[in-house]
């Protein structure tokens, strides 16, 4: 380094490097400048000066200098390495890898560059390259522990775990007998556990087990060691030993569901689907009875039997389980039980239990058949449980009457208001739900959870400004919601994006959806530091698991939702593009010249005002930053806070395709993915890709209304195209001609017949009928009346459930809303739409969408008046005498009448 | 926790900006009066005298006081409200709240604590008499919207603290 320089300057060069490493950038800059005074063309010095400037936030200068340096000294590995580091700091990993490779061509054995390269290869999953680099590093420095481990991990990642084992064993061979020293015991233990997990992965179960037994003494993480051992025993079919070990683990933690599951497997009493024979149920019951004696303090051991018990036994066990929790007051009891509602018959039994408890506690203050008096709160918790039960069953009137009674009983319990809000949300009154959530929030201003719940309800009710204000209550320094972005608060960004989308503010919606996408890019980025850290700390099992997690990161539900949201925005943008400036000019040209002039002046003034405001804001935020941290820390100002620039994309469909690809790769089993793929590709005229989407939909759900729509629309579109002219079009036709008979829905039928067939097959289902009607309209626009009749003739059956009086209409609110939108926007039939609305208002009388009579959309409904005062304050002991002016009531939307809907 | 968790614990906690809504909810349920903001700011500034009572983590009752300056530097305490939600009465919660305020008076050397009560509210009058409150005055037409409109002033005086000789 700096070899071409005379001794004095060579020393100065070393100083630059040292200053860079110790972050004394000013010192380094000085040294660089004094070399450059004498040798202004010295490449390596120019490069190093650039790198130093890069750390001082002078990016453009940095790139110029580094490039200049490289040009002056193309044969220097230092210049290439520096160029690579520069790219790396800007996360341009592919470019950085190229630079490192050039550097290595000049200096193939440079350890530092090799190590940097290996990190980038791991990050980019260039696994063959990673193996090569790691091998080179080991060959160069075999006495370094990290090089052995790195080489082994690289083979494991490159799908060669048995090679990884060989390397680790060779490494162990280099160690002394008394290894490890006291300060390396954790690291060594982790290495051993990693090796054993590799043996398991390769299927060398016996060897893994014997290795584990031999090295047990050297493994520090005893719990992980036992869990590994039991996993091996079960895989080897040694169930007796496995069972014993699971019991041992249960004594350590009797609330770990996986241990119970494992023990059941060892006893031959485990089924994935949860369906057991009556003999098995008896044996399971006995197993858990004996376990419950041993672990009397565990709630898990009492809860699990509710999953497999049936009938009377379930009834007894559930009663025993529920009662103490109601006495104690456990607000989460319903969510604990809610999975049981998926088991046939259990919801009815639970309802019976709840009602018996309610009746008995209300009358005597005791549980049925018990002597002890219950605390007064038991009745309230029982009502709370019942309200959630009815909510789950879709009986919103009953649910609301129970929750109102609970609030009247004890108006200070926050959960009651949250649940009431949730019931109203399910019943279709989003504004009232938000008001209730806000009431809950006000009761404990220090609780972030209820604050967040309230924000979410407000966003669902499209009260974005209010939601933003509420969310900001819990961000640091009450800073704007930028802070929520920094905290990667994705639920907020998704809910707010969806709200903007509903309000047709596509710019802001896109802004939020893309913000979520950005978080995922950041999460991918964040793994970079761990490539070196984990090898050094030997947390190899966690490291490999983290890499695997990163590989499927984009299948996470938040990304899924964000990508769907963004694609929908782009589709909308394509279907109804913004007015271009030319068109706007066209509109202004209709005006008189004087009017035009005025308009332009107005616009100019508005622009100037906005600019000024933005500047003032900037100054303000900067000055506040200065005062707080002492030194100047400028937050970059978002140049496009409302997403207006995002709307000006040239080609919305190609933007949509970017996110679509990620969905297809990571969420291939989601119906949504392929519906969007169909929509995007139809618009792009990509026939075969659209057809592929149709085939995927048929694979996932052949009978769904959406699949039917896409299928019919696709072939209808094909039929409407002119005959193919060029070869590629002819080829597409040939493919489709071969494929069409393969589709069982079509076979030899015409599209009209296929639609008819579909209708008859699913004539009892509203959504299927609506799809058939929509397709009928598409195929035969003249048959509009017939199509509308198809929808209107649908019958909404009352589903009554045995064992109770309450019955529920079959149709879902969500579905009815989409049918209404269909009538309004596709059929363009206002009369039919308003007939539908009237009809649905009867079914969903809390729905604001349909203007149901109990919803907050109707001025005379109970939620817009202050209803009667609860009478729970009968004979209290009044003290002070402040004049009576106003009677409000708890939980009945006090002050809600002020809200504008 | 007692047998079967049946012995619920009763605890007291202060009123702050963050949880003042709990006090409002209680008052809405307990009294036919909507109290103004001054009531709540007086309650918060009375510090330890104003308390919420919790029955196994549920807020079920409260005592709200105001500190009043008498002539000189002396302070007396006025009980603005004391109440417990109906289902939770008879469990000693009101007693616990009142005792808390009385103990605090003694500790802080306060000479007098008093309150107003409607003349027909015998339950309340008897309750306070158990704590050695006495009727010291009657005010005609104190209430404007309820019958009877008259109230008693109930006062408990503490003998001046014994000074060491």
Shortest distance, CA B4 to any CA of chain A (angstroms): 7
Whether the CB of A702 is below 8 Å from some CB of chain B: the reply is no
Which of A105-109, A542-546, B146-150 shows the lowest mean pLDDT across its residues?
B146-150
What is the DSSP secondary-structure string of A814-834? HHHHHHHHIIIIIS--HHHHH
At residue A107, the pLDDT reads 93
The answer to whether A84 touches A66, Cβ cutoff 8 Å, is no
Helix (H) or strand (E) holding A835: helix A830-843
pLDDT at A863 over 90: no
Q: How confident is the model at residue B162 (pLDDT cuts 50, 70, 90)?
A: low
Which of A370-374, A860-864, B38-42 shows the lowest mean pLDDT across its residues?
A860-864
pLDDT at A878 over 70: no
At residue B147, the pLDDT reads 86
Note the helical H segments in A473-556: 482-486, 490-502, 506-526, 530-537, 540-551
Mean pLDDT of A301-318: 96
Out of B88, B116, B142, B143, which one is annotated catalytic?
Answer: B116
Residue of A nearest to B55 (CA): A377
List phi, psi (to 5°) of B142: -75, -45
**Candidate from A372, A412, A874 with C-beta closest to B60:** A412
A226-265 burial: b if 16+ Cβ within 10 Å, else e: bbbbbbbbbeeebbeebbebbeebbeeebebeebbebbbb
| B116 is a catalytic site residue | yes
pLDDT at A530 over 90: yes
Q: Which residues of A touch B21 (CB under 8 A)?
A: 442-445
Best-predicted range by mean pLDDT (A325-329, A610-614, A854-858): A325-329
Kindly list the domain boundaries of chain A, sorted by start residue.
7-174, 488-576+644-663, 668-748, 749-832
Q: How confident is the model at residue A607 (pLDDT cuts 50, 70, 90)?
A: low
Q: Which residues of B touch A379 (CB under 8 A)?
A: 87
What is the DSSP secondary-structure string of B93-129? HHHHHHHHHHHHHHHTT--EEEEEEETT-HHHHHHHH
List phi, psi (to 5°) of A196: -65, -40
Pairing mode of beta strands B75-84, B134-139? unpaired
For residue B165, is it within any domain?
no
Instruction: Please give the Cα distance from A599 to A602 (Å, whole number).
Output: 5
Based on DSSP, count helices (H) and strands (E) in chain A, helices before strands: 46, 2
Name the residue with higher pLDDT: A624 or A300: A300
Mean pLDDT of A618-635: 46
Non-local (6+) Cβ contacts of B107 within 8 A are: none
Whether the CB of A371 is below 8 Å from some CB of chain B: the reply is no
Instruction: Please give the Cα distance from A824 to A813 (Å, whole number).
Output: 17
pLDDT at A812 over 60: yes
Per-residue pLDDT tens digits for A359-376: 999 999 999 999 899 999
Instruction: Please give the Cα distance from A56 to A76 (Å, whole number).
Output: 24
Could you say which DSSP state residue B18 is in? G
CA Rg, chain A, in Å? 34
Mean pLDDT of A707-733: 91
Name the residue with higher pLDDT: A898 or A530: A530
Shortest distance, CA A868 to any CA of chain B (angstroms): 12
| B78 is a catalytic site residue | yes
Best-predicted range by mean pLDDT (A604-608, A719-723, A893-897): A719-723
Shortest distance, CA A281 to any CA of chain B (angstroms): 29
At residue A632, the pLDDT reads 43
pLDDT at A898 over 50: no
Shortest distance, CA A470 to any CA of chain B (angstroms): 15
Q: How confident is the model at residue A2 (pLDDT cuts 50, 70, 90)?
A: low
For residue B31, is it within any domain?
yes
Instruction: Please give the Cα distance from B165 to B163 (Å, whole number).
Output: 6
Per-residue pLDDT tens digits for A769-789: 999 999 999 999 999 999 999
pLDDT at A876 over 70: no
At residue A274, the pLDDT reads 84
Q: Which of A371, A874, A876, A886 to mutate to test the interface with B (most CBs of B within 10 A)?
A: A876
Could you say which DSSP state residue A270 is in? -
Per-residue pLDDT tens digits for A673-695: 999 999 999 999 999 999 999 99
pLDDT at A628 over 50: no
Which of A496-505, A694-703, A741-750, B56-65 shows the lowest mean pLDDT across its residues?
A741-750
Instruction: Please give the Cα distance from A10 to A46 (Å, whole number).
Output: 14
Could you say which DSSP state residue B14 is in? E
Q: Which domain holds residue B117?
A: 3-157
Mean pLDDT of A508-527: 94
Q: What is the ipTM of this complex?
A: 0.92
pLDDT at A47 over 50: yes
Q: How confident is the model at residue A888 (pLDDT cuts 50, 70, 90)?
A: very low
Instruction: Please give the Cα distance from A187 to A207 (Å, whole number).
Output: 22
What share of chain A in percent tops pLDDT 90? 73
Which residue in A650, A649, A656 sits closest to A675, CA to CA?
A: A656
A837-859 burial: b if 16+ Cβ within 10 Å, else e: beebbebbbbbbbbbbebbbbbe
At residue A440, the pLDDT reads 96
At residue A179, the pLDDT reads 78
Domain CATH for B125: 3.40.630.30
Mean pLDDT of A612-635: 48
The answer to whether A384 touches A336, Cβ cutoff 8 Å, is no
Could you say which DSSP state residue A635 is in? P
Instruction: Please give the Cα distance from A532 to A118 (Å, whole number).
Output: 9
Out of B78, B88, B142, B143, which one is annotated catalytic?
Answer: B78
Q: Which of B5, B8, B16, B33 to mutate to test the interface with A (most CBs of A within 10 A)?
A: B33
pLDDT at A877 over 50: no
Which of A212-216, A503-507, A897-901 shows the lowest mean pLDDT across its residues?
A897-901
Q: Do A873 and B83 touch (CB under 8 A)?
A: yes
Whether the CB of B90 is below 8 Å from some CB of chain A: the reply is no
Q: Do B144 and A879 touch (CB under 8 A)?
A: no
User: Domain A7-174 is of which CATH architecture?
Assistant: Alpha Horseshoe (1.25)
Return mean pLDDT, chain A: 87
Residue of A nearest to B123 (CA): A877
At residue A803, the pLDDT reads 44
For residue B126, is it within any domain?
yes
pLDDT at A409 over 80: yes
Per-residue pLDDT tens digits for A418-464: 999 999 999 999 999 999 999 999 999 999 999 999 999 999 999 99
Instruction: Please give the Cα distance from A780 to A756 (Å, whole number).
Output: 12
Residues 324-353 of A with CB under 8 A from B: 324, 327-329
Per-residue pLDDT tens digits for A109-137: 999 999 999 999 999 999 999 999 999 99
- Domains A7-174 and A488-576+644-663 agree in fold: yes
How many angstroms separate the most distant Cα atoms in chain B? 55
Residue of B nearest to A441 (CA): B21
Which residue in A317, A335, A319, A336 sits closest to A327, CA to CA?
A: A319
Number of domains present in the structure of chain B: 1
Whether the CB of A375 is below 8 Å from some CB of chain B: the reply is yes
Residue B52: C-alpha distances to residues A255, B56, B86, B119, B163 (Å):
35, 13, 15, 26, 34
At residue A484, the pLDDT reads 84
Residue of B nearest to A882 (CA): B35
CB-neighbour burial class of residue A763 (10 A; exposed 0-12, middle 13-18, buried 19+): middle
Whether the CB of B59 is below 8 Å from some CB of chain A: the reply is yes
Per-residue pLDDT tens digits for B87-114: 999 999 999 999 999 999 999 999 899 9
For residue B151, is it within any domain?
yes
For residue B79, is it within any domain?
yes
The answer to whether A438 touches A893, Cβ cutoff 8 Å, is no
Q: How confident is the model at residue A800 (pLDDT cuts 50, 70, 90)?
A: low
Non-local (6+) Cβ contacts of A163 within 8 A are: A155
Look at the domain A488-576+644-663 and name its fold: 1.25.40
Instruction: Please give the Cα distance from A842 to A830 (Å, whole number).
Output: 19
Q: How confident is the model at residue A722 (pLDDT cuts 50, 70, 90)?
A: confident
Mean pLDDT of A570-595: 67
């Amino acid at each position: 380094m700096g070899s071409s320089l005379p001794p004095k300057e060579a020393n100065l060069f070393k100083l630059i490097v040292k200053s860079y490493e110790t972050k004394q950038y000013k010192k380094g800059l000085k040294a660089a400048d004094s070399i450059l005074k004498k040798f202004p063309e010295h490449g390596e010095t120019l490069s190093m000066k650039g790198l130093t400037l890069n750390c001082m936030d002078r990016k453009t200068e940095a790139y110029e200098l580094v490039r200049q340096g490289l040009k002056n000294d193309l044969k220097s590995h230092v210049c290439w390495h520096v160029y690579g580091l520069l790219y790396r700091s800007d996360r341009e990993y592919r470019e950085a890898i190229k630079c490192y490779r050039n550097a290595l061509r000049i200096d193939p054995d440079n350890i530092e560059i090799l190590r940097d390269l290996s990190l980038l290869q791991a990050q980019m999953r260039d696994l063959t390259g990673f193996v090569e680099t790691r091998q080179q590093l080991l060959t160069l420095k075999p006495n370094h522990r990290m090089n052995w481990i790195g080489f082994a991990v690289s083979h494991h990642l490159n799908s060669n775990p048995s090679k990884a084992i060989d390397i680790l064993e060779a490494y162990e061979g280099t160690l002394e007998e008394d290894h490890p020293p006291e300060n390396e015991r954790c690291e060594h233990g982790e290495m051993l556990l990693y090796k054993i997990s590799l043996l398991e992965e390769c299927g060398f179960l016996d060897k893994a087990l014997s290795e584990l037994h031999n090295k047990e003494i050297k493994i520090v993480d005893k719990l992980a060691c036992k869990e590994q051992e039991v996993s091996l025993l079960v895989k080897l079919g040694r169930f007796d030993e496995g069972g014993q070990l699971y019991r041992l683990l249960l004594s350590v933690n009797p609330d770990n569901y996986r241990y119970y599951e494992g023990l059941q497997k060892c006893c031959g009493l485990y089924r994935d689907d949860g369906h057991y024979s009556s003999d098995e149920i008896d044996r399971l019951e006995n197993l858990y009875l004996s376990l419950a004696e041993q672990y009397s303090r565990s709630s898990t051991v009492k809860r699990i039997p509710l999953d497999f018990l049936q009938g009377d036994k379930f009834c007894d066990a559930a009663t025993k389980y529920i009662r103490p929790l109601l006495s104690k007051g456990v607000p989460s009891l319903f969510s604990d039980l809610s999975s049981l509602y998926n088991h046939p018959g259990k919801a009815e039994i639970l309802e019976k239990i709840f009602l018996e408890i309610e009746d008995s506690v209300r009358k005597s203050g005791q549980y049925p058949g018990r002597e002890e008096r219950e605390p007064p709160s038991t009745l309230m918790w029982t009502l709370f449980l019942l309200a959630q039960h009815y909510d789950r069953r879709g009986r919103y009137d009953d649910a609301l009457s129970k929750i109102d009674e609970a609030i009247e009983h004890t108006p200070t319990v926050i959960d009651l208001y949250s649940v009431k809000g949730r019931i109203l949300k399910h019943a279709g009154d989003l504004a009232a739900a938000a008001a209730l959530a806000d009431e809950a929030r006000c009761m404990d201003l220090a609780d972030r959870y209820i604050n967040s719940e309230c924000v979410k309800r407000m966003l669902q009710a499209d009260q974005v400004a209010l939601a933003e204000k509420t969310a900001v209550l819990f961000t640091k320094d009450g800073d704007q919601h930028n802070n929520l972005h920094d905290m990667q608060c994705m639920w907020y960004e998704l809910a707010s994006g969806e709200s903007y989308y509903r309000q047709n503010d596509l710019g802001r919606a896109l802004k939020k959806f893309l913000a979520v996408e950005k978080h995922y890019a950041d999460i991918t980025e964040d793994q970079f530091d761990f490539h070196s850290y984990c090898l050094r700390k030997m947390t190899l099992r966690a490291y490999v698991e983290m890499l695997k997690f990163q590989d499927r990161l984009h299948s996470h539900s938040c990304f899924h939702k964000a990508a769907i949201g963004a694609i929908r925005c782009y589709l909308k943008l394509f279907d109804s593009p913004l007015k271009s400036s030319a068109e706007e000019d066209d509109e202004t040209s209709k005006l008189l010249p004087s009017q035009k002039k005025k308009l332009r002046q107005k616009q100019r003034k508005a622009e100037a005002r906005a600019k000024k405001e933005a500047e003032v804001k900037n100054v303000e935020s900067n000055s506040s930053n200065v005062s707080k941290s002492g030194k100047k820390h400028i937050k970059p100002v978002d140049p496009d806070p409302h997403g207006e620039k995002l709307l000006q994309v040239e080609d919305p469909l190609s933007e949509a395709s970017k996110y679509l690809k990620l969905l297809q790769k990571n969420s291939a089993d989601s119906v949504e993915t392929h519906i969007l793929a169909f929509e995007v590709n139809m618009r792009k005229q990509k026939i075969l890709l659209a057809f592929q989407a149709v085939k995927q939909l048929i694979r996932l759900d052949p009978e769904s209304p959406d699949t039917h729509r896409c299928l019919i629309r696709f072939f209808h579109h094909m039929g409407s195209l002119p005959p193919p002219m060029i070869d590629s079009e002819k080829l597409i036709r040939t493919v489709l001609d071969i494929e069409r008979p393969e589709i069982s829905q079509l076979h030899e039928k015409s599209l009209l017949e296929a639609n008819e067939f579909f209708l008859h097959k699913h004539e009892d289902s509203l959504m299927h009928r609506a799809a058939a009607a929509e397709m009928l309209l598409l195929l035969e626009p003249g048959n509009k009346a017939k199509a509308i009749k198809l929808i209107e003739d649908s019958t909404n059956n009352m589903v009554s459930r045995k064992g109770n009086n309450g019955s529920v209409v079959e149709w879902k609110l969500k579905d009815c809303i989409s049918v209404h939108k269909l009538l309004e926007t596709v059929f363009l039939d206002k009369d039919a739409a308003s007939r539908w609305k009237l009809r649905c208002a009867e079914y969903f009388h809390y729905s604001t969408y349909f203007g149901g009579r109990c919803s907050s959309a109707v001025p005379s409904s109970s939620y817009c008046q202050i209803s009667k005062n609860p009478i729970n304050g009968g004979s209290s002991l009044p003290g002070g005498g402040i004049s009576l002016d106003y009677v409000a009531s708890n939980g009945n939307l006090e002050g809600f009448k002020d809200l504008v809907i | 926790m007692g047998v079967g968790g049946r012995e619920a614990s009763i605890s007291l906690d202060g009123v702050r900006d963050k949880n003042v809504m709990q006090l409002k909810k209680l008052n809405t349920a307990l009294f036919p009066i909507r109290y103004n903001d001054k009531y709540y700011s007086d309650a918060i500034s009375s510090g330890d005298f104003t308390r919420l009572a919790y029955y196994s983590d549920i807020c079920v009752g409260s005592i709200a006081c105001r500190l009043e300056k008498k002539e000189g530097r002396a302070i007396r305490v006025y009980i603005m409200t004391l109440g417990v939600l109906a289902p939770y009465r008879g469990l000693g919660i009101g007693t616990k709240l009142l005792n808390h305020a009385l103990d605090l008076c003694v500790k802080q050397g306060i000479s007098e604590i008093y309150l107003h009560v409607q003349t027909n509210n015998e339950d309340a009058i008897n309750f306070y008499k158990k704590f050695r409150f006495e009727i010291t005055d009657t005010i005609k037409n104190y209430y404007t919207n309820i019958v009877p409109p008259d109230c008693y002033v109930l006062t408990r005086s503490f003998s001046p603290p014994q000074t060491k000789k």
